[in-house]
Amino acid sequence: MADNKKMVEAITSMDADFAQWYTDVVKKAELCDYASVKGCMVIKPAGYAIWENIQKELDRRFKETGVQNVYMPLFIPEGLLEKEKDHVEGFAPEVAWVTHGGLEPLQERLCVRPTSETLFCDFYAKDIHSYRDLPRVYNQWCSVVRWEKTTRPFLRSREFLWQEGHTAHATAEEAEARTVQMLNVYADFCEEVLAIPVVKGQKTDKEKFAGAEATYTIESLMHDGKALQSGTSHNFGDGFAKAFGIQFADKDNTLKYVYQTSWGMTTRMIGAIIMVHGDDNGLVLPPRIAPVQIMVVPIQQKKEGVLDKAYELRDRLLKSGFSVKADDTDKSPGWKFADCEMRGIPLRVEIGPKDMEQNQAVLVRRDNHEKTVVSLDELEAKAGELLETIQRDMLEKARKHRDSHTYTAEEWDEFVETINNKPGFVKAMWCGCRECEDKIKEETGATSRCMPFEQESLSDHCVCCGKPAKKMVYWGRAY
Amino acid sequence: MADNKKMVEAITSMDADFAQWYTDVVKKAELCDYASVKGCMVIKPAGYAIWENIQKELDRRFKETGVQNVYMPLFIPEGLLEKEKDHVEGFAPEVAWVTHGGLEPLQERLCVRPTSETLFCDFYAKDIHSYRDLPRVYNQWCSVVRWEKTTRPFLRSREFLWQEGHTAHATAEEAEARTVQMLNVYADFCEEVLAIPVVKGQKTDKEKFAGAEATYTIESLMHDGKALQSGTSHNFGDGFAKAFGIQFADKDNTLKYVYQTSWGMTTRMIGAIIMVHGDDNGLVLPPRIAPVQIMVVPIQQKKEGVLDKAYELRDRLLKSGFSVKADDTDKSPGWKFADCEMRGIPLRVEIGPKDMEQNQAVLVRRDNHEKTVVSLDELEAKAGELLETIQRDMLEKARKHRDSHTYTAEEWDEFVETINNKPGFVKAMWCGCRECEDKIKEETGATSRCMPFEQESLSDHCVCCGKPAKKMVYWGRAY
């Protein structure tokens, strides 16, 4: 097991330096790499395969709610970006500008899309005429660019992959319902597939999307107690429709403006998976998102029949619908175990000559290292049960961590003390004014994560200024 | 049937004006639309759904050959683009340049990728160390930008969607084998899925990819007799490896350069589907790529039970694995028939009160308008058989069209006469020199499409200069 140890030693421990641990896992699990282009990523096969599974699962859930996929241009003419005032103010400082096409300067600069509200609006203004054309429930999978100053793999990069849904509706009520519906799709996806529990709520005006009437968010808590905004859904009311002139003839033959929403989830969720589930041995992937769910590791593979048996077990498990590989490299079993762990493969099947004699295999869970000896006659059934248990236990563990790192504070001193000494969410009452939000950020580094849909009354006064409280807010330091 | 006729009248006939017919189909079948960004497209749901099916089918075939998906950055620093001389010469005149990030000018210009050889090479130079790291068989699905002056939906646009595979191998032989393997994947995909027959061959030096040692291509013939390059696969030898310093330690412990390939297929294949299979009633989709394979159209749907029966048939067909919709709008049957035809839906199921009495439905093929009355007891089986027949017949029809529009010419006058009067491929012998190729293009507008793998000896001399012939070439005017 010497080389096993050696490999494990190669990553920094979470407690020693969480940021370095994160970078080590990203690198050693071969998820992504820095590119020569500053602030951009190369997403490697192991990382991209996770994104493909996220896409497949989200896309299926979207389509069940009537979403249709489309593709809009990569570029936004400067004049188009400027049509909605709040929106351009929010995004102009961080976009990349194309000024030359081929050998000639462009007449109008084009920005590389940081998000595509303006393009969808421009299209909808031409394409929507009548109530019969509504609702429009479109989505696209693409990359977007935001010229960030400091970047981190998956969490913040100048280019990232995402989906962006953009819808248009006949009524404000329908738009609001769609905004909430998509937030729920995200929340269910996070909990059921990524095993990441989330808090659903609304962003404050300070934190909402540029141009939105209301932004809803799901917030998750990483292992180090920092929050991660994991998906957002925006209700635009008719603000964009008025700026872009998106009108339709309603049933009563009057011209009305549409009501719009948008919603997005990004490759940063790969960062969330790492930071919620990972441990000092590396990545830990929930079975429902793992590109490889089971790795079969032969023990003493040079002994006759062992490799064949390993392939046989792999093929049996493949046939049952699991995603399986067999590690037949010439590395030692210890090295292979460590490698499986580093890559986060949920279940390991060990098979050697002694196991073969006894018609058994050893199943080892990635999440808690628990070993189960199973008869080969029930291999598929037991593997399936274990994967389901792992999925359930990972969510449960993440929920417990989240709950045990969620604190409350009624008074200012208690709030500052908690933020500074207890990494996690702090629930506290808020008067609703921007000044308190600014002060909290300035003095503690914490931001309002959301006003949760499930409100509680912790006290009658704002934790910051003491004036009457309007909302209970989740506060925290965030990625 | 009055409104049926009216709708059909709305598109230009193919024979009257093929280019206008194409634009009409793109628009009326709602495949894509022009964007406010000059030269860029909005791919609408009906168009994007075809692309999703192309992606699904190609991606599956790629993965069966060991391809892994990755994602490289959107931007290429100017210095990186310039590393391979031929490559930069080919692409620099048609790239879009980013000069500003946020509010500040960039120190080095970035081009928006027109293709990603340079990014993959830059990555491979860091990532490949040993023969154990080879082969690398990576692919990405993304959009690329080429600053074209004249554009047409799907066929030529400033931004388009594609996949680009980029591989690195230990030997020249392995690279050559992969280049041919991927060309065959494309050819099989075109014939088996898109029902488009192709000619496989090699590009001349004049027409090959900038930086390639050899470019292989599949060429298809559109209804109007013009050729369309439908997929290319390039063997780079070790040229890029030397320019980028991509070396590996081989088994014998010496440092060697890798051998590389790249291969791509794009959204222009949607244009090919339109132009190979379409007719004066609109789009005709091969069943294996059609997002909706069967449309159930109720006749006299206000009569009791008709709509329910239509839904029942739809659900039965869905259950059998077909992609099915029922048109329950308040339009007339004639309008619905024309609409189905315009959108290219392969099979229409008509069900009305009289059919119900006789426990039957009428199945109408899109490709040849043939009607079959089937007992409802065998609906699924007959629909399945018909879809298979349609797929086969469409390929056969396209093959016949291609073959009957493929001519030969031995002498110059005959060649010019054929090119000018008989739209299609012209097979003719070539001496191998650039001068003849240039003259042919200048005087006839035809380009060398490929030197087919299946060579024939039509004569002993070049059709242009009369000198000894080296290769039989497919010539044609092309998109």
B48 touches A: beta carbon within 8 Å: yes
The whole-number average pLDDT for the span A385-393 is 98
Write the pLDDT tens digit of every residue in B241-264: 999 999 999 999 999 999 999 999
- Cβ-Cβ contacts under 8 Å for A262 (sequence gap 6 or more): A115, A117, A120, A164, A165, A166, A167, A209, A233, A234, A236
Distance separating alpha carbons of residues A242 and A256, to the nearest angstrom: 10
Omega of the bond prior to A423 within 30 degrees of 0, cis?
A: no
- At residue B287, φ and ψ (nearest 5 deg) are -55, -35
The residue of chain A with its CA nearest to that of B118 is: A36
| A50: pLDDT strictly greater than 60 | yes
Domain A294-390 architecture: 3-Layer(aba) Sandwich (3.40)
pLDDT tens for B365-388 read 999 999 999 999 999 999 999 999
Answer yes or no: same fold for A16-277 and A294-390: no
- Chain A residue with the nearest C-alpha to that of B158: A73
Residue B168 forms contact with A (CB below 8 Å): no
Q: Say yes or no for a CB contact (<8 Å) between B71 and A48.
A: yes
CA distance B221 to B215: 19
If you classify domain B294-386 with CATH, what class do you get?
A: alpha beta
Give dist(CA A444, CA A167) in Å, integer. 38
Convert the pLDDT of each residue in A294-327 to its tens digit: 999 999 999 999 999 999 999 999 999 999 999 9
Residue pairs between chains A and B whose CB atoms are closer than 8 Å: 149
List the single residue in A96, A110, A138 with the smallest CB-CB distance to B37.
A110
Q: What pLDDT digit, counting tens, does each position of A318-364 carry?
A: 999 999 999 999 999 999 999 999 999 999 999 999 999 999 999 99
Q: Where are the domains of chain A?
A: 16-277, 294-390, 406-476
CB < 8 Å from A in window 110-149 of B:
110, 112, 119, 122-123, 126-127, 138, 142-143, 145, 147
Compute the Cα dihedral for B84, B89, B90, B91 and give only its sign.
positive
Whether residues B36 and A94 touch (CB distance < 8 A) is answered with no
Nearest to B42 among A72, A112, A158 (CB): A72
DSSP A373: E
Q: Can you tell me the distance from the alpha carbon of A195 to that of A192, in angstroms, rounded to the nearest whole number? A: 6
Alpha helices in A305-404 (DSSP H): 306-319, 333-342, 353-357, 379-404
Q: B-chain residues within 8 Å CB-CB of A117?
A: none
CB atoms within 10 A of CB A104: 9
Contacts of residue B75 in chain A, CB cutoff 8 Å? 37, 40, 96, 159
Query: In Å, how far is A147's CA from the nearest CA of chain B?
Result: 6
Residue of A nearest to B30 (CA): A127
Residue type, A40: C
Using the Cβ of A318 and the Cβ atoms of chain B, whether some distance falls under 8 Å is answered with no
Task: For domain B16-277, give the CATH number.
Answer: 3.30.930.10
Chain B residue with CA closest to A75: the answer is B37
Q: Does A98 touch chain B (CB under 8 A)?
A: yes
Burial class (CB in 10 A: 0-12, 13-18, 19+), B267: buried
DSSP state at residue B469? P
For residue A424, which of A441, A439, A408 has the smallest C-alpha distance?
A: A408
Q: What is the mean pLDDT of each run of 10 residues along chain B (479 residues)?
A: 50 96 97 90 98 98 98 96 88 93 93 97 97 98 94 95 98 98 98 98 96 97 98 97 97 97 98 98 98 98 96 98 97 96 98 97 98 98 98 98 98 97 98 97 97 97 97 97
ipTM: 0.96
Across the interface, do B143 and A42 touch by the CB < 8 Å criterion? no
Homologous superfamily of domain range A406-476:
C-terminal domain of ProRS (3.30.110.30)
- A42 interface with B at CB cutoff 8 Å: yes
At residue A476, the pLDDT reads: 98
pLDDT at position B1, please? Answer: 38
Model pLDDT, residue B9: 56
Which of B133, B63, B70 shows the shortest CA–CA distance to A33? B70
Residue A9: per-residue pLDDT? 56
B78 touching A (Cβ < 8 Å)? no
Q: How far is A156 from chain B (nearest CA, A)?
A: 14
- Which pLDDT value is given to residue A87? 85
Kindly state whether B94 is in contact with chain A, defined as any CB-CB distance less than 8 angstroms: yes
Q: From chain B, pick out residues whose CB is under 8 angstroms from the CB of A161.
A: 71
Q: Which residues pair with B473 in a beta bridge?
A: B428
Strand A324-326 to B259-266 pairing: unpaired
pLDDT in tens, A229-272: 999 999 999 999 999 999 999 999 999 999 999 999 999 999 99
CA nearest to A157 within chain B: B73
Query: Could you report the per-residue pLDDT of A97-135, keeping only the tens digit for each?
Result: 999 998 899 999 999 999 999 999 999 999 999 999 999
Question: Which tens digit of pLDDT belongs to each residue from A53-77?
Answer: 999 999 999 999 999 999 999 999 9
The secondary structure of A58-117 as a DSSP string is HHHHHHHTT-EE-B--SEEEHHHHTTSHHHHHHHGGG-EEEEEETTEEEEEEEEEPSS-H
Residue type, A2: A
